[in-house]
């Protein structure tokens, strides 16, 4: 698999039927092929009932799929784009690897925190926010979008601050 031609789809640890159904739609797959993607890694969680490799095979895309990965870290070096649910873990893991990200908010969740984190990250220009219904349109605009680089984490600063406040140093 060539990294420049591969993308990762992830729904996290649960399921997200609407995202998987949209990614498996003719319009989205046609757009992915148009943008040069010929390999796809799909982590479908508990959404196996709506997942189908047939559409990817129709467009001669190489497909790797699995219900769950213990860690996505090994996959990040293999992909040019991630389309995923708007969970904080997926967002932060992807951005720390400096990979462009389209997050799809699950509008069916109660007390939807996904909107809040996705809105904040999109306002800072770190990612593109979509819903299942708007994914195709957002994907079509992706090639002309320039995202900001997510800042590198410096956990030692927090430890230093905490030590100073607690007078350990």
Per-residue pLDDT tens digits for 108-120: 876 778 889 999 9
The 10s digit of each residue's pLDDT in 8-55 is: 999 988 899 999 999 999 999 999 999 999 999 999 999 999 999 999
| pLDDT computed for residue 75 by the predictor | 96
152: pLDDT strictly greater than 90 = no
Closest C-alpha among 90, 101, 107 to residue 16:
107
State mean pLDDT over 149-165: 86
Q: Are 94 and 84 in contact (CB under 8 A)?
A: yes
pLDDT category, 162, cuts 50, 70, 90? confident
Domains and CATH numbers, the chain: 3-165 (3.40.50.2000)
The 10s digit of each residue's pLDDT in 54-109 is: 999 999 999 999 999 999 999 999 999 999 999 999 999 999 999 999 999 998 87
Closest C-alpha among 55, 71, 68, 141 to residue 102:
141
State mean pLDDT over 139-154: 93
On the 0-12 / 13-18 / 19+ scale of CB atoms within 10 A, 151 is exposed
Using DSSP's 3-state secondary structure scheme, residue 15 falls into coil
The structure tokens listed for 122 are: 């999109």
Residues forming beta bridges with residue 144, ordered by sequence position: none
């Amino acid at each position: 698999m060539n990294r420049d031609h591969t993308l990762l789809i992830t729904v996290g640890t649960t399921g997200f039927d609407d995202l998987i159904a949209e990614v498996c739609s003719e319009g989205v797959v046609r757009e992915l092929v148009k943008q040069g993607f010929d390999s796809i890694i799909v982590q479908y969680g508990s959404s196996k009932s709506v997942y189908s490799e047939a559409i990817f095979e129709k467009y001669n895309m190489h497909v790797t799929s699995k219900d769950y990965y213990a860690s996505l870290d090994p996959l990040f070096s293999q992909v040019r784009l991630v389309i995923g649910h708007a969970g904080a873990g997926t967002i932060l893991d992807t951005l720390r690897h400096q990979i462009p990200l389209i997050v799809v908010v699950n509008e069916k969740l109660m007390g939807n925190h996904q909107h809040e984190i996705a809105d904040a990250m999109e306002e800072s220009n770190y990612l593109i926010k979509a819903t299942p219904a708007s994914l195709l349109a957002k994907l079509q605009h992706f090639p002309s979008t320039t995202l900001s680089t997510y800042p590198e984490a410096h956990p030692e600063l927090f430890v230093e601050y905490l030590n100073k406040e607690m007078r350990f140093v």
